[in-house]
Amino acid sequence: MSSAPEIPTLLDEAVLADLHEDFASTGDLDELAALIRNFVARGGEGVEEARGALESGDAEAARKAAHKLKGSSRTLGAGLLGAVAAKVEAAAAEGDLEVASRAARELDVVWSLTRHALSDMVEAIGGDGPLTAGGGPAAEQGGGLDVLIADDEPIALAVLRATVERLGHSCTAVTDGEAALAAYERDRPQVVFTDLQMPGIEGVELARRIRALEGPAPYVAMLSASGDRGAGALGETVDAVLSKPAREDDVRAVLGLAAQRSS
C-alpha cells in the first residue's frame, strides 16, 4: 500500500524558528527583517521574470528564473513556493510552455500568499513570540469555518489549503475521494472543495454521496482544471465551480456564502 503523498507547507515553521533564534541570539532581528524584505522584493522580480519569459515564449529564460526562485525559497523555508517554482522549471526544461504557463498561474497565487505571510512576519519581529506562519484575518476575529479539501495533486491541494488558512479558517486536506468521504463523515465541515477528477471516487460522485448523508448540507465547490463546467451543468450536487488554481477572491466569495448558509 503506497503512502499518502507529502503536501508542501506554505512556510516551514522549523526553519523560521531557527532563523529567529539565530538572529535574536546576536541581537540582529533588524537584519532578519531586512533579509525577509529583500526576499520579498527579489522574489516578486523572479515571479515577474518567469511570467514574462513564458508570455514571450522563451522557455529557457523561464526555466532559469524558476530555478533561481526555487533555490532562494529555501532560505526562508518557503516550501510551497519552491515546489511550484520547480513545476515551472521542469515544464520549461521540457519546452512545454502550456504546462509551464498553468504552473505559473499557481506560482502567482502562491507568491501572493507567501508575500503576505512574510510581510506579517516582518511586522511581528521584535515581539515577544517566535515567528509563525499562521493567523489570517478571520482567525484573529474568531468564528472561522471548518473546511475540507480533496485533490489528488499535492501542490494544488497545498495552494488551496494555504489560501483557506490565510483567510482564517481551519482546514483538513486529503488526496483522494475515499479519504474525503471519511473525513466529511467524521468532521462534518461546513465547506467542501473537491477536485472534479480524482482516482476512485471523483468529485461529482463525492458531492452526491455527501448530499445523501443526513444532517445540514455543506457548501460544495468543485475545482476544475479547465474551468469549463458551470455549477448548472452539475445539477444540485455542487454550489459553485472554480477554475484551478482558485483565486483568493473566488475562495473568499465561496467561504462568505458558506458562512451565510451556516449562520
- Pairwise CA distance, residues 19 & 24, whole Å: 8
pLDDT one-digit tens code per residue, 109-121: 999 999 999 988 8
Find where cell 498553468 sits: 102
pLDDT one-digit tens code per residue, 141-184: 446 999 999 999 999 999 999 999 999 999 999 999 999 999 99
Find where cell 519552491 sits: 82
- Pairwise CA distance, residues 108 & 256, whole Å: 23
- Whole-structure pTM value: 0.84
Q: Spell out the domains of the chain, with CATH numbers in brackets.
A: 13-124 (1.20.120), 137-262 (3.40.50.2300)
CA distances from 217 to 137, 158, 191, 206 (A): 26, 25, 9, 13
State the alpha helices, DSSP H only, in the chain.
Answer: 13-25, 29-55, 59-73, 79-93, 97-124, 137-141, 154-166, 177-187, 203-212, 248-262
